[in-house]
Amino acid sequence: MKVFLSWSKLRSQKVAELLNSWIPCILQSVEPWISSQNIEDGELWFNAIQTQVSEIINGIICLTKENKDQPWILFEAGGLAKGLEKSRIYVLLIDLVPDDILLSPLSAFNQTKPNKTGLKKLMHVINNRTSKPVSTEILDQVFEKFWPDFEEKLKEIITETEIAASTTKKPVKEEVSADILAELLKSIRNLETNVNSIRNANMHVETIKTERAISSPISSLRIKRHINKFLNATTTEKEHLNENKAQLYDYIKARNPDSVLLRSRFERVLEDYVKERDDL
């Protein structure tokens, strides 16, 4: 299974290249793809990347302070997000926190910190998407073995790029044509559309849940249980329930403020309840 590693700017590139060499040590069935190493000489880099993002359904976006608003990152994310039902995009917050990307389309995707807990969880998620996932126990053992090396190299990258991150620019791969810029814009718009679709769908689901919770009629059995609790909590005798109907209704209403049909069902259930008591 392939995993696309998206990067832009120096720090992001270094971390992506570290992941490129480290992930196969943890998951041997996973083949990372990174543009800085997997594009053959003479191959058009834009076409190569465009092909990969359209075919690969797993992507890790190496996000930093200096690239979080870069069109190139959004372009690759947009390409990966075309098939959201199958695709999975993981945003690796290298020197960021979730609040830093609240206004970005990337905020809709899974966000992971490059620490031990975050990357172990990410490896398990990717492992479960492979055709033959390894067992949890084996994966944990392998991760523990290779984590110290990753952690040490990551610290070195952060240190080395501390100053360079704000001053160094990645060499331009080749002159960007108007057609490429148009593709970038189209991809970014597609990403925003897909993200908005996800958000709208989630909002729709939550609205339905809320409406169902609010409009769900209270059951007769539940009213009977409340009547029993009312009798146990007060000095009211069963034969005097009708005399304390208003107090009993307020008791049940306070515990079910959003239930519809409460009044009509309460009247019917109480009548049957009292009748059952009288028949005993």
The answer to whether residue 23 sits within a structural domain is: yes
Residues 96 and 234 both lie in one domain: no
Predicted confidence band at 209 (pLDDT cuts at 50, 70, 90)? low
Give the tens place of pLDDT for each residue, 60-111.
Answer: 999 999 999 888 788 777 777 765 567 788 999 999 999 999 888 888 888 9
% of residues, the chain, pLDDT over 90: 33
242, two tokens: 């009708």
Q: What is the pLDDT of residue 175?
A: 46
Q: What is the mean pLDDT of the chain?
A: 78
Structural domain includes residue 37:
yes
- Amino acid 249: pLDDT: 86
So what's the pLDDT on residue 166? 55
Q: In the listed set 178, 205, 232, which residue is the last one of a domain according to the structure?
A: 205
10 & 127 share domain: yes
213 falls within a domain:
no
Residue 244 lies in a domain: yes
Domain count, the chain: 2
Mean pLDDT, rounded, for 127-137: 93
> For 244-271, what is each residue's pLDDT tens digit?
888 888 888 888 876 666 788 888 888 8
Residue 114 in domain: yes
Residue 208 CA to residue 162 CA, distance in Å, equals 48
Is residue 248 a part of any domain in this protein? yes
Using the 3D structure, point to which of 143, 173, 205 is the last residue of a domain: 205
Do residues 182 and 100 both lie within one domain? yes
Is the domain of 251 the same as that of 147?
no
Q: How far is residue 59 from each of residues 56, 152, 189, 225, 250, measured CA to CA in Å?
A: 7, 24, 19, 53, 56
What φ, ψ does residue 10 adopt, rounded to 5°?
-65, -55
What angle do helix axes 116-128 and 10-26 make, rounded to 10 degrees? 60
Q: Note whether 236 and 200 are same-domain residues.
A: no
- Residue 274 domain flag: yes
Residue 237 domain boundaries? 220-279
Q: Is the pLDDT of residue 16 over 70?
A: yes
- Residue 215 forms part of a structural domain: no
The span from the CA of 33 to the CA of 50, in Å, is: 12
Q: Does the model's pTM come out above 0.95?
A: no
Residues 165 and 248 grouped into a single domain: no
Are 187 and 76 contained in the same domain? yes
